[in-house]
Structure 1
Amino acid sequence: MTISNLSSRIPGFHRMTTAERLEAVAAFSGLDGATVAQLGAPGNIDPHLADHMIENVVSTLSIPIGIATNLRVDGKDVLVPMATEESSVVAAVCNSARQCYETGGFVTSVSGNLMIAQVQLVGVPDPHGARLRILERRDEVAAICDGCDPMLVQLGGGFREMEVRVVPSLGGPMVVTHLIVDTRDAMGANAVNTMAETLAPSIERWTGGRVLLRILSNLADRRVARARATWPAEAIGGAGVRDGMIAAYHFAEADPYRAATHNKGIMNGVSAVVLATGNDTRAVEAGAHAYAARDGRYTSLTRWEAGADGALVGAIELPLPVGLVGGATKIHPTARACLKILGVTTAAELARIIAAVGLAQNFGAMKALATTGIQQGHMALHANNVAIAAGAVGEEVARLAATLVERRAVRQDVAVAELERMRGARTA
């Protein structure tokens, strides 16, 4: 099977067998035989590698990797691997992307690759004076930081700037130095943490204070990714659907109780791509939620409005500190295979695609909420899980799932009883 013109529009992709889908992805992404074999292996991680990734290893947990189709990002068609256990997440992105494909898909940008490390200083009698003494040493700070990672400097990264703040706290004022570092195609945690720890003794010497914490901030607001897209009103069901979705956004923008679930839905898509590529889901999630509260109250990560032509226009901004080198992105073979599918060559490209997926995910959730409700589509897919949990095998899974959906009773007790009835009727 070959995919013509490298289009992410693959008709019937969800109806293919697993092997057929993998073949289609391999053709699209030009994967070699070893990569295809890695993706096709049921466990797909060597026990020796797992034992050296974390401590006390006894096993591995395989999470399904689905492919989001229909995505066009900055004029280029991409297939996006998503690792998730939750039903309907991948389908929502596929459907959302399809509905804006003809209007150009997603347009993205990034603010840069800058990460922040914090050095906490306490015990100085003159915190404002200490702040200035640190700022006066900028060139020394730059030399110390760049000396920690000459390879990063050779690649065009390294120290860029510093900020020093006096932060009021329950224990009195503390002086906090921010080291702002270009980490290029690495997520950068190890690099900036090393710089902060190396710089600490100098800050103590310059100020007479005592350094405590020396670590990165996961509020990576110097590493923001953005995406926008347009959905014609007729493509999504008309002006009524559009206005209902905008009202749903207004709810999330105004109310933190709604915003928490609204943003969780966005992160369903974001975290699935982050996980598939071996990046740090917890860092990305922490930064995104902190960014949603950056103005003093927790609110939506997305913005939705009606364009001049009546179309629905959506946009997203969130920190995306992801990398292509270092950590699991470099050593986990399946993460490397997923990066090959994406075809990205820089961390910025990866962040742009993830932002587009987050916006698509949000569109799908809001459209469902504003029309049929979230459960209709979600429960139809979740019914398969319930059927398997009840003991269904082979062709029984699809039959039992369809029955549960038809009865509007996607429940474990109903599934068990219905499976017994099905089997009894077959043997009668």
Structure 2
Amino acid sequence: MKNPKTGKQKNIWLGFHKKDRLERIAILKENNIITPEFSDILENNVNLSCDTAGQMTENNIGTFALPLGIAPYFIVNDIEYSVPMVTEEPSVIAACSYAAKLISKSGGFTVKIENRKMIGEVALYDIPDFDKAMEDILKNKNDILRIANESYPSIVARGGGAENIEVKILKEGDTSFLVVYLTADVKEAMGANILNTMLEGIKPLLESITGGKALMAILSNYAVNSLVTSTCEVDFSLFSNDKAQAFNIAKKIEMASKFSKMDIFRATTHNKGIFNGIDAVVIATGNDWRAIEAGGHAYAVKDGKYSGLTEWTFDEENNILRGKLTLPMPVASVGGSIGLNPTVKTAFNILNNPDAKTLAGIIVSVGLAQNFAALKALVSTGIQKGHMKLQARSLALFAGAENEEVDIVVEKLLETNHINSENAKNILKEIRNK
């Protein structure tokens, strides 16, 4: 598969992890994965300015940095991407890159965008007649939609806007609400400001129609009208040169998937691993990772029980492991901090400036890849083997090792039976005393 910018198929990533930071940036620039303007931002480590940060949040006292890395080899709908990821957790990017490379050998990821609409709600109470109120709201549906769109005309001008309303009566004990759900096409935006403005616009009319009072009007982060599905097929022979061992790994991945549907303790960690990858891309692209996590975890309990979000099935007849992940993914390509943060703009440049739907598909594919890497490790070598070297590196840095000392400390630390901070400090002391 060809890179959307380079049109080339050569492996520019061979030994990439062994390069220093500036060499990696040079590779991105030389292969047109990033433009000179944005490579300069990376080379000079230009971050969000304090002046801009002060305009974005209250009581600002500075900015906070996290590591930005690249996960190559992602083929999504036949296009190759190098995915920017922001994470402080060791092994996340390495595992994601490994999974993407393996899956790319079987054709990569196929993404289906179910829809891309956002939902907001107005909750009403103290209504004299709930059934009549519901009937009257539906009779006035066109007027309600018209007022919603008049509240935010710029989104209508861009081809979006309010499209539908639904009404539901909620009762528990002696408390009752009439909830009006408004669905809108928010185009390239995440939609919170758009929906909230529309909802505030229709609130007085809803109170007038129902004779009730509005408790609140607010966007919902349970974006079930913005579902994205990523699937992949992996030739199980890629797992090992030993056919029996490869078969065993594929079968165990399927079993691990089933286990995550049955046990809430496993499901929680299973899904956390998925969001290790998803959050890293959402943060890198300046989107709201809290909203994405909230919607994702709510979706995990859509069938009445919290369970693992991915599905892995092993087709023994055709020797193929199939993976699937469906999630609400209402990310944006404009708005928020996207146009304000130079690193976020750089991340979009690396991704070839995708629209919101394309970005959502990439992000869900990263989640599926991250889960595949975790499950494969868990059912074969164990999760700790891959973590230990990276953990040792973190301990070496924490102990105060300088650049030229880090690899030596890591090597000696891995030879011990106790990979901990105290040992790292002792090893560093020995090195410096020689």
Question: What is the TM-score normalised by the length of structure 1?
Answer: 0.96
- Aligned partner of 1:364 in structure 2 is 373
Change (3 A) 1:6 1:59: farther
3-state SS of paired residue (1:260) = helix
Instruction: Summarize the Cα distance change of 1:17–1:171 in structure 2 as closer, same or farther, 3 Å threshold.
Output: farther
- What is aligned with 1:407? 416
- Residues 344 and 57 of structure 1, relative CA distance in 2, 3 Å threshold: same
Instruction: Judge conservation of contact 2:46–2:343 (CA < 8 Å) in 1.
Output: no
Give the structure 2 partner of residue 173 of structure 1: 176
Q: For the residues of structure 1 that align with 2:404 and 2:51, how far apart are their CA atoms?
A: 36
- Provide the C-alpha distance between the structure 2 equivalents of 1:98 and 1:274, rounded to a whole number of angstroms: 21
- String of CA shifts for 1:309-338, please: whole Å, max 9, x gaps: 121110100011100111011221211110
Alpha-carbon deviation of 1:406?
2.4
1:375 matched to 2:378? The reply is: no
Name which of 197, 210, 214 aligns with 1:211. 214
Q: Which digits, 9 at most, give the CA deviation of each residue in 1:21-60, with x for residues without a partner?
A: 1122233445333211222233512111111111111111
Amino acid of the residue matched to residue 152 of structure 2?
D
**Quick check: 1:8–1:79 contact (8 Å CA) kept in 2?**
no
Matched length:
424
SS in 1 for 2:231: strand
1:243 corresponds in structure 2 to 251
Residue 300 in structure 1 maps to residue 308 in structure 2: yes
**What is aligned with 1:54?**
57
Q: What residue identity is the alignment partner of 1:293?
A: V
Equivalent in the alignment of 2:283: 275
- Maintained 8 Å contact 1:43/1:62: no
Aligned pairs for 1:310-329 within 5 A: 310-329=319-338
Determine the C-alpha separation between the residues in 1 that align with 2:70 and 2:238.
23
- Taking a change above 3 Å as real, the CA distance of residues 175 and 227 of structure 1, as seen in their structure-2 partners, is same
1:82 aligns with 2:85: yes
Letter in 2 for 1:121: L
1:256 and 2:264 equivalent?
yes
Name the counterpart of 2:243. none
TM-score (norm 2): 0.95
Distance change >3 Å, CA 202–CA 3, structure 1 → 2: closer
Shift in alpha-carbon separation, 1:329–1:128, aligned structure 2, 3 A: same
Cα distance, 1:157–1:315 mapped onto 2, change above 3 Å:
same
**Cα distance, 1:385–1:144 mapped onto 2, change above 3 Å:** same
Within a 5 Å distance, the mapping from 1:327-346 to structure 2 comes to: 327-346=336-355
Structure 2 counterpart of 1:380, one-letter code? K
Change in Cα spacing, 1:3 to 1:395, as seen in structure 2 (3 Å) is: farther
Residue identity opposite 1:300 in structure 2: G
Identity %, equivalent residues: 37
Question: Contact 2:35 / 2:349 at 8 angstroms: preserved in 1?
Answer: no
Partner Cα separation in structure 2 for residue 42 and residue 27 of structure 1: 19
Name the structure 2 match of 1:133: 136
TM-superposed CA distance for 1:170, in Å, is 4.6
Corresponding residue for residue 25 of structure 1: 28
Q: Which residue of 2 aligns with 1:388?
A: 397
Instruction: Determine the C-alpha separation between the residues in 1 that align with 2:268 and 2:295.
Output: 14
* Matches of 2:10 and 2:354, distance apart in 1: 19
Single out whichever of 361-370 and 391-400 deviates more from structure 2: 391-400
Corresponding residue SS for 2:8 = helix
TM-aligned CA distance change 1:209 to 1:40, over 3 Å: same
Query: Within the alignment, does 1:228 sit opposite 2:237 as a pair?
Result: no
Q: In the TM superposition, what are the counterparts of 1:347-362 in structure 2 within 5 Å?
A: 347-362=356-371
2:11, 2:196 → 1: CA distance? 39
Is the contact between residue 268 and residue 361 of structure 1 (CA under 8 Å) also seen in structure 2? yes
Distance 2:228 2:324 in 1: 11
